[in-house]
Amino acid sequence: MCKVKIQAGLASRLFIFKICRQKKNLVKFLLMNRIYLDHAATTYIDDAVKAAMEPYWQNKFGNASTIYKEGCDARSALNAARKNIASLIGANPDEIIFTNGGTESDNLAIFGIARQYKGGHIITSKIEHHAVLNSCKVLEKENFKVTYLDVDKNGIIDLKELKKSLCKDTILISIMYANNEIGAIQPIKEIAKVIRDYKIKNKNKKIYFHTDAIQAAGYLDLNVERLGVDLMSVNASKIYGPKGVGFLYARRGIKLLPIIYGGGQEKGIRPGTENIPSIVGLDKAFEIAQKMREKESKRVVSLRDYLIKNILKIIPDSSLNGNQALRLPNNVNVTIKNVEGESLILYLDARGIACSTGSACTSQDLEPSHVITALGKSREDAHCSIRFTLGRKTTKADMDYLLKVLPGIVKKLRNISAI
Amino acid sequence: MIKKRLRKPAQVLATASASGGEWIYSKTVKEHFFHPRNILLKEPKKGEFDAEGAVGNPACGDVMKMWIKVEPKTQRIKKLKWRSFGCATAIASTSMFSQMVTEYGGMTLEDALRLTPQDIMKRLGGLPPYKVHCSVLADQAFKSTIENYFQKFPEEAPAK
């Protein structure tokens, strides 16, 4: 009896030992503290946001289009969110259209304006997000002309070039507030002024100015009056809110054509049962983001500058993409020569660091980043670019850990490299 | 015969490689990416290799270089070393290819030339469609190396 017990004990211990050996990396993975440096891709949800959403999954689940109590509860939550978001950007509640996120907001702005015309001229920049660029490309096939403005080496458009591009056919201008890859911040107020002056000179011609403010929402002023924009896209998943929800601001009096058809929700411009829990989450996330943006910007800028300074110091042949001053507080994008972006990401991943690349090698097309090449850098440099985007949980210790592991990985990949 | 020989080590590798979450590529790709075989770390000495070849373009994001040493009598590949600038699958493809042609005493040039990108992919446990070109590049780098070899040793080139 005793012998059997001992044997069983031994066997089970051996078994555990075997499992531990086999799953060595899994155990390591579970124990390892991950360092998330890809906040421009998406963010974790804020606790307060999650709590605000909680009642709307089960207790207040009603359809906001119905007239009984459950519907009224949902509708009042919807209205409150709309009102609060509007006040945060200095707009009226009826100027907010809820969507399923940034891409849809951009699409709605561009197609919603353009398709009212049989053709016309649109101005955008070469470094826009694909949600804007690919929408413009579709319109090019539909009798529209599109001007893609160049950017300088800092990723900023030239106002003179914009001025020159404006013409009698121009109906829409879409320039992003802050770039997702290099964090370059465009002079939105000045762009709005150029457009306004042109409009006044040309008998109040109708030209609409759209900005994609998705990356800017956590760090910059989004007051639409001060910015002078007619349309603005924002989404929740980059500002510690839920995924799959966003809004489009559209100035009063602007007619938009829907891009999907259905019931009368969102004035018929964006039909479909309102996603109340997410909209409540968007509202809360946006409120927190705008409230803490100045303080958080200050904190993150010092980490960003510390990281940039040290990467350039300890990694030979590395350079910053974009300008240090004209960029989002949380964005670091560097080119590390002879080190291909995807390989670097996967090695960093194995060391517990999550980050991204400007190179599209990890996505499904193999073209290098259109943003880095638009800065005048070579395709080779674009393949060697890497992006770290910091966030609320990022600490100086994270930066130090990254700076500790990065040189070794770079050295290894350069040893393998055939260049 | 070759196929039979090839299958076994792939399975061994797959089970031996570490797990941990769902990776975008196969376990074998991961294993070869993190532990690449047969890399040329130091500059080659004079006479260390018989031939070398390269393929790719940094602008396209992939460059591969290969060096080979062939045993003249048997025409078996004694040594194949490489360097690669590229993504994970490019590195894994070259690494796997270098292992395939040098294991079991080395393949003959004739057999090695018969290998296709599909063979590399099979051994790697598959590649996503948009990464197939990485295995093609490894194959092309080898072909360019062999071309260089036959230029240097025309007497060993197969009769046309």
Of B20, B90, B91, nearest to A26 by CB-CB distance is B20
B19, A26: Cβ pair inside 8 Å?
yes
* pLDDT confidence of residue A276: 97
Calpha distance A352→A375 (Å, rounded): 31
Residue A138's φ and ψ, nearest 5 degrees, are: -65, -45
A340, B34: Cβ pair inside 8 Å?
no
Full set of structural domains in chain A with CATH: 30-42+294-416 (3.90.1150.10), 47-288 (3.40.640.10)
The tens digit of pLDDT for each residue in A93-111 reads 999 999 999 999 999 999 9
Sorted by where each begins, the domain ranges of chain B are 2-10+24-42+49-154
Contact A269, A258 (CB under 8 A): yes
Calpha distance A105→A245 (Å, rounded): 10
Calpha distance B79→B45 (Å, rounded): 14
Calpha distance A219→A391 (Å, rounded): 11
List CB contacts (< 8 A) between A361 and chain B.
61, 87
Instruction: Compute the nearest-CA separation of A405 from chain B (Å).
Output: 15
Concatenating the DSSP letter of every residue in B13-65 gives HHHHS---S--SS-HHHHHHHHS-SSB--SPPPTTS-SEEEEEEEGGGTEEEE
Calpha distance A38→A196 (Å, rounded): 37
List CB contacts (< 8 A) between B67 and chain A.
none
* pLDDT confidence of residue B4: 41
Q: Which residue has the higher pLDDT, A25 or A224?
A: A224
Contact A356, A387 (CB under 8 A): yes
- pLDDT surpasses 50 at B1: no
List CB contacts (< 8 A) between B24 and chain A.
362
Q: What sign for the dihedral angle of Cα B118, B122, B123, B126?
A: positive
- The helix-helix angle for A396-416 and A341-350 (nearest 10°) equals 130
Instruction: Compute the nearest-CA separation of B93 from chain A (Å).
Output: 13
Share of chain B above pLDDT 70, in %: 86
CATH topology assigned to domain B2-10+24-42+49-154: Sufe protein. Chain: A (3.90.1010)
The tens digit of pLDDT for each residue in B132-153 reads 888 888 889 999 999 898 888 8
Residues paired with residue A330 on neighbouring β-strands, in sequence order: none
* pLDDT confidence of residue A364: 57
Token couple for B47: 């006479």
- pLDDT surpasses 90 at A4: no
Active-site positions of A? 361
Query: Is any Cβ of chain B less than 8 angstroms from the Cβ of A28?
Result: yes
B33, A343: Cβ pair inside 8 Å?
yes
- pLDDT surpasses 80 at A363: no
Contact A250, A52 (CB under 8 A): no
The tens digit of pLDDT for each residue in A265-306 reads 999 999 999 999 999 999 999 999 999 999 999 999 999 999
Neighbours of A64 (CB within 10 A): 20
Spatial CB neighbours of A56, under 8 Å, sequence gap ≥ 6:
A74, A77, A276, A277, A280
* pLDDT confidence of residue A122: 97
Please determine, for the modelled complex, whether the ipTM score is greater than 0.90.
no
Spatial CB neighbours of A140, under 8 Å, sequence gap ≥ 6:
A146
Average pLDDT, chain A: 91
Q: Name which of A32, A343, A356 to mutate to probe chain B: the one with the most chain B Cβ atoms within 10 A of its Cβ.
A: A343
- H or E element, residue B80: strand B76-85
Q: What sign for the dihedral angle of Cα A62, A66, A68, A69?
A: positive
Token couple for B136: 């093609």
List CB contacts (< 8 A) between B58 and chain A.
379-380, 383, 419
B33, A22: Cβ pair inside 8 Å?
no
Nearest partner of A375 among A189, A183, A219, judged by Cα: A183
Instruction: Compute the nearest-CA separation of A385 from chain B (Å).
Output: 11
Interface of B with A (CB under 8 A): 18-21, 24, 33-34, 36, 39, 41, 54, 56, 58-61, 63-65, 82-88, 90-91, 130, 133
A366, B61: Cβ pair inside 8 Å?
yes
What does pTM read for this prediction? 0.86
Contact A304, A329 (CB under 8 A): yes
Query: Is any Cβ of chain B less than 8 angstroms from the Cβ of A418?
Result: yes
Query: Is any Cβ of chain B less than 8 angstroms from the Cβ of A18?
Result: no
Of A338, A359, A368, nearest to B85 by CB-CB distance is A338
Calpha distance A378→A42 (Å, rounded): 28
- H or E element, residue B68: strand B62-71
List CB contacts (< 8 A) between A341 and chain B.
87
Q: Using alpha carbons, list the distances in angstroms from residue A340 to A131, A135, A344, A384, B94.
A: 26, 30, 6, 5, 15
Calpha distance A257→A268 (Å, rounded): 9
Contact A86, A92 (CB under 8 A): yes
Contact A19, A194 (CB under 8 A): no
Q: Which residue has the higher pLDDT, B4 or A392?
A: A392
